[in-house]
Amino acid sequence: MFGKRSLLVLVIFVATFLMLCLMYSNSAGELPTDVRPPSKRLSFSIGPPPPSECTCPGGSVLLKDHIPKEEYEELMQRRAKELKQHKARTSSVLSRLLFALPNSPLQYPVQGYTVRPLTPTLIPGLELHAGKRSNYKVFLDVSKGTLSTEIPGEEATVKEVGKTGLTIESSNLDVLNKLLAKVTYTSTVYHVNTADLASFKFEDHHAVFPIAIKQPQLPVLYDMGKDINSHVTIATKTFLRYPQLKVLLKSIRDFYSNIKVIIADDSLKPEPITGENVLHYIMPPAQGWFAGRNLAVSQVTTKYFLWVDDDFVFTENTKIEKLVEVMEAVPELDVVGASVEGNMFYFSLDYNEGTETDGGCLDRKSNGKFHSLPDYPQCSLASGVVNFFLARTDAVQRVGFDPKLKRVAHSEFFMDGLGSLMVASCGHVSIGHQPRSASADYSHFRNPAHSDSEFKLQLHFFKNHLKCIRYG
């Protein structure tokens, strides 16, 4: 009896299984809807989700509240136009999300395929891996270039589809793959840095892969020479503080007798500053700190420069060589800050782009940092550092210092460099600070008026496309 029951259960199970298979098959050779290859109409290039409005952290300054009401609408129109042009220069089809579908018989490059503009270049790795068929047919299409392959033999046909498409057909899979291996892409428009998306189809299978179109750049290399004097230039900006500047210069010569020093000076009544390997550039009066920084850095010819304030003083702990060692060991770094009288000053920037209409949200967090550098536990990555730092000359020159900011302005340089400058802060190198003293004229210019603070907020609203900013 037990054997008959077991047999009956087995029969019912087999019958149920066959019915389920029949239900899911729908038709001969067809897959269930949840795993069926997508139709040719489905787009495989999906853009990122639309940006959402960012939330201003508590204590933020709402920048639009600092724009005169009568100027607001016109300013918003100009800002929107500038943002559109900015995105046209910086966006690329390579930022679009591409999804590789499962079980595709198409092989193609997914990363690293780069071509020079207007130059025929083989597309590596194109292949079809399909089961036995009487005929194989693939289609390739691009939008910013043309495609070609070698002239086929009798076993295959190649047809151009418009100016940007190519159809290859053969009854022999090996012959078809040999033709795919000879496909070249040629961009039709000169551009130094753009991209294209190539479409690759076979039956119901459709793949999209990126093509980077870039003009190769000539390397700009610095001959480091044999000693610190050929590695680094010291740069500073001075204004109405000649006694402090002279103390700084003497302290530099106490430890680095031959290193070049560049001084940008916008004092009201310039005084001569002389000395071997000292370059003193006189500016029009009161042009401001960032204008002076631009001038000083523009004259640097060494790979690195060390930025110092004119009231700093070198000590036995001001070891420039140690900062150079870090920069050379971690070549991705652009700026390495150090301590002032043993105190570390650094911050992190938390930025959310927000919407095109409202703008982004920026949160500057004092003492914010990320993680330490490998092999240098005394150094941590950050977004910005104090006014005592070693920097890669060409990297800082690319970002520049906005000369509109004349007085208190330091974080703004790192805001402009966010996303392009790699910054670290190290605690094993230090510089001293002279006793604080200043003339009445200097104090008048040093302390920003309310109008200066308002101007800075208005500048962030337009130039940096910000809705709000918090200085934590």
Per-residue 3-state assignment (H helix, E strand, C coil) for the chain: CHHHHHHHHHHHHHHHHHHHHHHHHCCCCCCCCCCCCCCCCCCCEECCCCCCCCCCCCCCEEHHHHCCHHHHHHHHHHHHHHHHHHHHHHCCHHHCEECCCCCCCEECCCCCCEECCCCCEECCCCEECCCCCCCEEEEEECCCEEEECCCCCCCEEEEEECCCEEEEEECCHHHHHHHHCCCEEEECCCCCEEEEEEEEEECCEEEEEEEEEECCCCCCCCCCCCCHHHHEEEEEEECCCHHHHHHHHHHHHHHCCCCCEEEEECCCCCCCCCCCCEEEEECCCCCCHHHHHHHHHHCCCCCEEEECCCCEECCCCCCHHHHHHHHHHCCCCCEEEEEECCECCEEEEEEEEEECCCEEEEEEEECCCCCEECCEEEEEEECEECCCEEEEHHHHHHHCCCCCCCCCCCHHHHHHCCCCCCEEEEEEEEEEECCCCCCHHHHHHHCCCHHHHHHHHHHHHHHCCEEEEEEC
Domain 228-471: give its CATH architecture: Alpha-Beta Complex (3.90)
> Which pLDDT value is given to residue 439?
61
> Which pLDDT value is given to residue 6?
54
Q: Which CATH class is domain 108-214?
A: mainly beta
Please report, as a single letter, which amino acid is at residue 164. Answer: T
Phi, psi of 312 (to 5 degrees): -85, 170
Paired tokens of 272: 């001569």
Sheet with 165-170, strands from edge to edge, namely: 114-115, 205-214, 193-202, 136-141, 165-170, 156-161
Q: How many C-beta atoms surround the C-beta of residue 204 within 10 A?
A: 11
Instruction: Note the Cα 399 to chain centre separation in Å.
Output: 12
> Which pLDDT value is given to residue 34?
32
Q: How confident is the model at residue 447 (pLDDT cuts 50, 70, 90)?
A: low
> Which pLDDT value is given to residue 224?
87
* pLDDT reading at 140 higher than 70: yes
* pLDDT reading at 10 higher than 70: no
**Which of 73-82, 164-173, 382-391 comes out lowest in average pLDDT?**
73-82
Mean pLDDT of the residues in the chain: 88
Can you tell me the mean pLDDT for 54-59?
93
> Which pLDDT value is given to residue 368?
95
Q: Which residue has the higher pLDDT, 79 or 47?
A: 79
* pLDDT reading at 451 higher than 90: no
Residues of the chain with CATH 2.60.40: 108-214
Q: Are 464 and 353 in contact (CB under 8 A)?
A: no
∠ CA 362-367-370, rounded to 5°: 80
Listed ranges 34-43, 75-84, 460-469; the one with the highest mean pLDDT: 460-469
- The length of the chain is 472
CB half-sphere exposure, 248, CA atoms < 13 A: 25
d(CA 358, CA 467): 6
> Which pLDDT value is given to residue 441?
58
Rg, Å, the chain Cα set: 32
Can you tell me the mean pLDDT for 415-439?
92
Q: Which residue has the higher pLDDT, 326 or 9?
A: 326
Paired tokens of 268: 């009201």
d(CA 242, CA 252): 15
* pLDDT reading at 285 higher than 90: yes
* pLDDT reading at 53 higher than 60: yes
Please report, as a single letter, which amino acid is at residue 221. Answer: L
Per cent of the chain over pLDDT 70 is 86
**b/e 411-428 (16+ beta carbons within 10 angstroms → b):** bbbbbbbeeebbbbbbbe
> Which pLDDT value is given to residue 440?
55
Residues of the chain with CATH 3.90.550.10: 228-471
Q: How confident is the model at residue 91 (pLDDT cuts 50, 70, 90)?
A: confident
Please report, as a single letter, which amino acid is at residue 89. Answer: R
> Which pLDDT value is given to residue 316?
97
